[in-house]
Structure 1
């Protein structure tokens, strides 16, 4: 009996010791995470309205950081990071950063693919990066406005105008948001890159960003600015064909729709995005090149509009020539390019 009591006391003592050590470890982890959150708030200028919101955001932040740390322990070709979206749930991220549920009209007349269709893939360069040719303006930030469609269309327009005129001009997304309102496009609530091209053509061009600066909100159209860039027309890349997309990107920056709503896209920090993702075409970006990394993985190079603290200083690489004809995250499903 005495032996049994002694054994019981020993077991209880060890359990108490384990619990106290475990509790201390959890407390230290939380204190460390709190310090990390405070540093992150300072870095991104995040201010919460009250203590309750800060507590809630801290819990979301903690969950996301643990997901990032777990994800990055795997053997993958890309990695995640604690970026400006680290205190958002994925549902919140989708609601604020992607195309806000905009569904374009599917009944459209095909434009044709005449400019590059007869080019042989064998004649294309193995690597293209339009940044090195001076056809890409610095990374921009759409903020809390679902205006990715405007940034994608403007990036493609800036590229072809530079290739046509020799001058790189930063054009106004805000003019599209405020003035392209008589068709499907709906400012911060979403839009379509092809419709944006049509507006630029009918409008006689776009003015410079410095004339009509970005406000990250819907505004009233301000007319009377001189156009700094004009377009003649645009064409669509045949759907579900990465080869045809490659032909177009080899010759100019191209607007591309993509599924940009999952956690790995939200928290992407670098490397070549690989694996599975959806084809909910909810985000517009610009394809500005392609290449192959040192391990032999082929990739597309994209310009995003979420600032320089997301991805590779604002850019994204995504696996190229995958078995799915739609391309990684649907990048080959809906691409188009303007003609100047």
Structure 2
């Protein structure tokens, strides 16, 4: 089935958390908002770098002042006026909070106070980065350089480091000058010269800062401009044309742009050509090992607060690449939360001196990052939640929830994130996941591990059950087109859909359960069964009122396969592990809720361990094909009304704790896409005794449902996004 969008939102002590799956789900958790008195969370501690910092402690204004004084003394900062001192103190306080945010988003690294903590994000980027025109990685590659021949990647060493081979000079310092591109350029030439001659020379960045004015052939405004930034590919072209590069000793670095003093007779290294390497991490590793250190560009947003560890942000900025660095090696033991295990990482030489990072180096996990969007809202989080327009929740999401994906895979990444910062410290974090490969349990497993790491209590014992689903239900690359078309028609119908949130209190649910007890078994129906029966009945009444006649009605229940497998090996597995329980009714007047509940129970009674075995392997695809054929026959006779139900209760989202306390609210999306389906998602209220029903209907049926007296006898419409 093609993707839609699942959305989860959590609101924390200083934050709102919002996570969305891009296929069929979405929700939102709310924690207490930051109080008016500004306090911040601890972002570093006295423990060694491998430990995860404790974010539970809050600090007062006095603590911030003391920490700022320590910062001034440690980094020998001097401010000329009292006004400047107070201005930098304010920025320092904001950067402490920003470091805490980075710590939550990048939990396998350590973030905190660095020499850049008194600089705004804009100042930091202007003074200490410097790559131009890097809107995307291909923009860094000028068409002049030759394309690299594809290399064999089998047999590469597990770990590799050019520092151990003697091909890398000492860490240098660019200072408050946007000349990173020059340091990246000299680093790659120093390495290439070492491989060619066996001699490690310290080459001149100042020559490039003073003398190189080369422009990119495709982006004419991207010209090398000293401390104003540049591109490594431009620098290569300049060196080819100028005749070469002097050593540092004959053309020393000053950290500012001066008159060009290049002396051709003192050239130490000549550049003949350069090669563009494809954006393929295996090819990057192969070229690194076989050809030497590589000049690369990256986004430095997480580097301003980086202290050490393996940086593997859960989100990755889609802003321009803005910083040139030198790739010198890779390792194989960096932990990655996105992969829930040990994965390789890159070793990167930076140009901010040895007091930054790990003695001037940065470790970044290998693998593609997650697309990231950021936004700011000027109002307080509590004010936002008082809005009556539930559609406003979509502003906190990185993608449209519950939408049919296009044929362009770039439009629908497997995982996407948005961070929204409110006034006074509120933070909303929205994640989107493809429902083709994930379900709501997978989403919970991810955020649960994430929150555990943020609290510093995660034990990485490996998780062999992660792939259990793909072993039990091997994926198929080819599915008959008629099955794909049928599922698209089943789930995506164009209409003007509205989503409304209704509250069912505990006493109303108890009365409904008693009323819904039927003849199928003596057991009282569950809360979800009773609510589904009532809403299905009222949906059929609304459909009859809109169309003027009764039509066959199909109820489609999402049934999780995880707990039905014996033994339950699927609980922690990644996958979209549910199946549809399909019940039907002729939608006759006078149908009782108890009768509908009985039909619903019958539709899932066969979902036992034996049935799951029949769905596995190659014979499983045959069973699924037979199921699809039956659906195709059912829907071809007469177009029925279709209504879907899914329950997100009892998953544990209210127990999540990122170090800021448990959520106080759990919510869903605002407005689905124009192509979707009449659908209901159940979630628990904070106390666990009531249930929220997030009902999506086409506008005509929703207008009827909102006035249905039988429905309103049990349901209470909630007009605000949240009553917090």
Shorter-normalised TM range: 0.7 to 0.9
| SS of residue matched to 2:252 | coil
Could you tell me whether the CA contact under 8 Å between 1:100 and 1:189 is conserved in 2? Answer: no
Q: Which runs of 5+ in 2 are unaligned?
A: 1-38, 40-58, 216-222, 336-341, 372-409, 411-724
Q: CA deviation at 1:46?
A: 1.1
Aligned-pair distance for 1:202?
2.2
1:273 aligns with 2:305: no
TM-score by length of 2: 0.39
Kindly state the Cα deviation for residue 131 of structure 1 after the two structures are TM-superposed: 0.7
User: Does structure 1 conserve the Cα–Cα contact (< 8 Å) formed by 2:316 and 2:369?
Assistant: no
Aligned counterpart, 2:66: 35
Separation in structure 2 between the aligned mates of residue 70 and residue 138 of structure 1, nearest angstrom: 32
Q: Describe how 1:87-236 pairs up with structure 2 within 5 A.
A: 87-99=118-130, 102=133, 108-109=143-144, 111-114=146-149, 117=150, 119-183=151-215, 184-224=223-263, 226-236=266-276
RMSD: 2.5
- Contact map agreement 1:267 1:310 (CA 8 A) in 2: no
Q: Deviation of residue 45 (structure 1)?
A: 1.8
Between the aligned partners of 1:267 and 1:323, the Cα distance in structure 2 is: 19
CA deviation map 1:13-54 (0-9, x unaligned): xxxxxxxxx9xxxxx833332222122112212111200110
Correspondence for 2:686: none
Would the alpha carbon gap of residues 71 and 148 (structure 1) be closer, same or farther in structure 2, given more than 3 Å must change?
closer
Greater relative contact order, per chain length (Cα 8 Å cut-off, separation 6+): 1
Q: Is the 8 A contact 1:152 1:255 kept in 2?
A: yes
Return the offset for 1:300.
0.8
Trace 1:281-292 onto structure 2 (pairs within 5 A).
281-292=321-332
| CA 294–255 in structure 1, closer or farther in 2 if over 3 Å, else same | closer
Distance 2:206 2:233 in 1: 17
CA contact (8 A) 1:102 1:189 kept: no
Which position in structure 2 is the counterpart of 1:55? 86
Q: Max radius of gyration: which structure?
A: 2
Q: Give the distance between the partners of 1:62 and 1:188, measured in 2 at CA.
A: 28
Alpha-carbon displacement from aligned partner over 1:218-247 (angstroms, at most 9, x marks no partner) = 111113251112222110001x31111111
Give the drift of 1:110: 5.2
Q: Report the TM-score, using the length of structure 1 for normalisation.
A: 0.80
Query: Whole-Å Cα distance in 1 between the matches of residues 317 and 103 of structure 2?
Result: 21
Classify the secondary structure of the residue corresponding to 1:312: coil
Paired with 2:250 and 2:61, the residues of 1 have a C-alpha distance of 48
Aligned to 2:345: 299
Change (3 A) 1:245 1:294: closer
Deviations for 1:302-337, whole angstroms, at most 9, x for unmatched residues? 1111111221111111111237699xxxxxxxxxxx
Name the SS of the counterpart of 2:296 in structure 1.
strand
Q: CA deviation at 1:109?
A: 3.9
Q: Could you tell me how far apart the structure 2 residues matched to 1:57 and 1:100 are?
A: 26
Whole-Å Cα distance in 2 between the matches of residues 43 and 99 of structure 1? 26
Q: Is the contact made by 1:136 and 1:155 (CA closer than 8 Å) also made in structure 2?
A: yes
Aligned partners of 1:127 and 1:291 also within 8 Å: yes
Secondary structure at 2:163 match in 1? coil
Q: How far apart, in 2, do the equivalents of 1:41 and 1:244 lie?
A: 44
Instruction: Indicate which of 42, 65, 71 corresponds to 2:96.
Output: 65
For residue 44 of structure 1, the aligned residue among 75, 83, 86 is 75
Match of 1:13 in 2: none
Preserved contact between residue 57 and residue 87 of structure 1 (Cα < 8 Å):
yes
**What are the superposed Cα offsets for residues 221-278 of structure 1, whole Å, 9 maximum, x if unpaired?**
113251112222110001x311111111112100001111x2x221111111112122
- Report the counterpart of residue 356 of structure 2 in structure 1: 310
Superposed displacement of residue 90, structure 1: 1.3
Judging changes above 3 Å, is the alpha-carbon distance between structure 1 residues 324 and 164 closer, same or farther for their aligned structure 2 residues? farther
Q: Distance in 2 between matches of 1:323 and 1:94?
A: 21
- Residue 297 of structure 1 aligns to a residue in which SS? strand
- 1:83 equivalent among 114, 136, 139: 114
Change (3 A) 1:77 1:307: same
Conservation of the 8 A alpha-carbon contact between 1:269 and 1:311: yes
Using the alignment, how far apart are the partners of 2:122 and 2:272 within structure 1? 39
Q: Distance in 2 between matches of 1:291 and 1:282?
A: 24
Q: Output the CA distance in 2 between the equivalents of 1:100 and 1:258.
A: 9
Q: Please say which of residues 313-322 and 147-156 is displaced more in the overlay.
A: 313-322
Is 2:269 aligned against 1:243?
Answer: no
Instruction: State the 4+ residue runs in structure 1 displaced beyond 4 angstroms.
Output: 69-75, 100-107, 323-326
SS in 2 for 1:42: helix
Q: Distance in 1 between matches of 2:201 and 2:297?
A: 23
CA distance in 2, matches of 1:72, 1:278: 15
CA distance in 2, matches of 1:79, 1:204: 43
1:11 corresponding residue in structure 2: none
Q: CA deviation at 1:73?
A: 7.0
Q: What is aligned with 1:255? A: 295
CA distance in 1, matches of 2:167, 2:333: 22
Q: Please report how far the alpha carbon of residue 201 of structure 1 lies from its aligned counterpart in structure 2 after TM superposition.
A: 2.1
Tell me the equivalent position of 1:3.
Answer: none
Q: Comparing both structures, which one devotes a greater share of its residues to strand?
A: 2
With over 3 angstroms needed to count, the CA separation of the structure-2 counterparts of 1:162 and 1:134, relative to structure 1, is same
